[in-house]
């Protein structure tokens, strides 16, 4: 199929080169947006239609739109990187597309075909490629999302949806960059239960986690760690990141995909890279109690959180209502640092992409 699914209508009022250059200097995370966005509609009678990459602008939706009442919404998070030789790449976009499809199924939403998902992103990145920051650790964060627009207050899956992709130039997710973070272990709240939506990337999971996240901030922590819903004993993941543990005898552990944690693409990539590096990789349940004991005895030497937004960030201190403990000497450990650099180097085209994870986007330079 060579027919284009998206009509391209560039804005007549792009941000000036000077303003864009200023915005790209310190973009922060998720606060600066490019000139355009991609949209695509779905209705039960027409399927996917009206693909458009046009000026970024507010939506007009009916106040009765189902998303505003019942939260039928899913999203993805991925990045376009400038490689060291000036090319533009996405990292494993097919994996994001497939996960978007699984999230859609769980939330009773239509599944967007992988080719359309990737085409929307490619067209947007092509049009807004000048928004890709080139400084170290910076990239163009892409936010595909799908939400229910049917004006109907009855409770059933919506018959109308809007798909959209935003592009946001970003620097490091945490203000401290890749410096160790302090995490708060929530004893009051859980994120997901078996049979729920924990494995889907939906806005509702985040809404349910915000109070625990706010408590984390109140206790001087950067992120919240959630325990399992049944025993409140097993470590699951952070609000928006997966978690790994490193032992002094070269074991790398992470909680298994039990249906209550999000199947991170960074998590999967780390499991593959670590195995190649000769680490003993285990997807195994790990209790909070054991984490404390192992940190105290020195069996556990490192812990880190990972996800597209923050990449890999070391966990320095673990805190709960009763007290806190430090991982190793509180600084980034060698396994965490090595994995971080390998992943970033593959994404930047510095190291060979032996897994075919990179998806190149041809940028057409204007003639003349």
Positions that interact with ligand PLP (CB under 6 A): 77, 201, 237, 240-242, 262, 264-267, 307-308
Cβ proximity to ligand PLP, 37 vs 309, nearer residue:
309
Cβ proximity to ligand PLP, 127 vs 225, nearer residue:
225
Q: Tell me how far apart the terminal alpha carbons of the chain are, to the nearest angstrom.
A: 30
Residue 332 and residue 59 in contact, taking contact as beta carbons nearer than 8 Å: no
Q: How far is the CB of 342 from ligand PLP (least distance, A)?
A: 15
Cβ proximity to ligand PLP, 267 vs 359, nearer residue:
267
Q: Is residue 294 classed exposed, middle or buried when 0-12, 13-18 and 19+ CB atoms within 10 A define those classes?
A: buried
Cβ proximity to ligand PLP, 5 vs 213, nearer residue:
213
Rounded distance between C-alpha atoms, residue 224 and residue 236, angstroms: 11
Q: How far is the CB of 238 from ligand PLP (least distance, A)?
A: 7
Rounded distance between C-alpha atoms, residue 13 and residue 331, angstroms: 47
Residue 70 and residue 193 in contact, taking contact as beta carbons nearer than 8 Å: no
Q: How far is the CB of 193 from ligand PLP (least distance, A)?
A: 14
Q: How far is the CB of 141 from ligand PLP (least distance, A)?
A: 11
Residue 220 tokens read as: 């001087």
Rounded distance between C-alpha atoms, residue 111 and residue 341, angstroms: 35
Q: How far is the CB of 305 from ligand PLP (least distance, A)?
A: 9
Rounded distance between C-alpha atoms, residue 127 and residue 34, angstroms: 10
Residue 80 and residue 140 in contact, taking contact as beta carbons nearer than 8 Å: yes
Q: How far is the CB of 17 from ligand PLP (least distance, A)?
A: 31
Beta bridge partners of 49: 41
- Listed in sequence order, the DSSP H helices in 173-257 are 203-218
Cβ proximity to ligand PLP, 51 vs 209, nearer residue:
209
Cβ proximity to ligand PLP, 35 vs 237, nearer residue:
237
Q: How far is the CB of 2 from ligand PLP (least distance, A)?
A: 30
Number of residues that this document lists for the chain: 368
Cβ proximity to ligand PLP, 120 vs 265, nearer residue:
265
Cβ proximity to ligand PLP, 82 vs 96, nearer residue:
96
Cβ proximity to ligand PLP, 161 vs 244, nearer residue:
244
Q: Write out the E strands in 31-115.
A: 36-43, 47-55, 73-75, 78-82, 88-91
CA torsion through residues 210, 141, 270, 75, sign: positive
Q: How far is the CB of 96 from ligand PLP (least distance, A)?
A: 7
Any long-range contacts for 65-68 (C-beta under 8 Å, 24+ apart)? 65/147, 65/148, 65/149, 65/150, 65/151, 66/148, 66/149, 66/150, 66/151, 66/152, 66/158, 67/147, 67/148, 67/149, 67/158
Q: How far is the CB of 308 from ligand PLP (least distance, A)?
A: 3
Beta bridge partners of 145: 75, 164
Rounded distance between C-alpha atoms, residue 232 and residue 227, angstroms: 5
Q: How far is the CB of 109 from ligand PLP (least distance, A)?
A: 17
Cβ proximity to ligand PLP, 5 vs 336, nearer residue:
336
């Amino acid at each position: 199929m060579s027919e284009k699914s998206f009509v391209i209508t560039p804005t007549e009022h792009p941000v000036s080169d000077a303003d864009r250059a200023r915005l790209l200097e310190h973009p922060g995370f998720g606060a600066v947006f490019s000139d355009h966005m991609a949209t695509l509609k779905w209705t039960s009678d027409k399927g996917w239609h009206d693909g458009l990459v046009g000026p970024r602008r507010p939506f007009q939706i009916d106040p009765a739109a189902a998303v505003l009442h019942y939260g039928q919404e899913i999203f993805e998070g991925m990045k376009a990187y400038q490689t060291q030789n000036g090319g533009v790449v996405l990292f494993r976009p097919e994996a994001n597309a497939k996960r978007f499809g699984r999230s859609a199924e769980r939330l009773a939403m239509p599944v967007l075909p992988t080719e359309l998902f990737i085409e929307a992103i490619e067209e947007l990145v092509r049009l807004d490629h000048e928004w890709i920051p080139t400084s170290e650790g910076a990239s163009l964060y892409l936010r595909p999302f799908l939400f229910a627009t049917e004006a109907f207050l009855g409770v059933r899956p919506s018959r109308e949806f809007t798909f959209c992709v935003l592009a946001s130039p970003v620097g490091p997710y945490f203000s401290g960059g890749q410096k160790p973070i302090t995490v708060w272990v929530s004893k009051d709240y859980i994120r997901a239960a078996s049979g729920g939506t924990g494995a889907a990337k939906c806005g509702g999971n985040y809404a349910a986690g915000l109070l625990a996240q706010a408590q984390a901030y109140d206790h001087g922590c950067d992120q919240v760690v959630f325990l399992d819903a049944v025993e409140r004993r097993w470590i699951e993941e952070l609000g928006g990141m997966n978690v790994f543990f490193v032992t002094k005898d070269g074991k790398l552990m992470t909680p298994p995909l039990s249906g209550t944690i999000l199947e991170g693409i960074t998590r999967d990539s780390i499991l593959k890279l670590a195995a190649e590096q000769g680490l003993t990789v285990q997807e195994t349940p790990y209790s909070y109690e054991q984490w404390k004991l192992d940190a105290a005895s020195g069996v556990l030497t490192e812990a880190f959180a990972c996800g597209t937004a923050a990449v890999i960030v070391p966990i320095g201190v673990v805190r709960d209502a009763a007290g806190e403990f430090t991982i190793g000497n509180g600084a980034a450990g060698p396994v965490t640092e090595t994995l971080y650099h390998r992943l970033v180097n593959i994404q930047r085209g510095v190291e060979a992409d032996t897994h075919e994870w990179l998806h190149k986007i041809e940028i057409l330079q204007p003639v003349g």
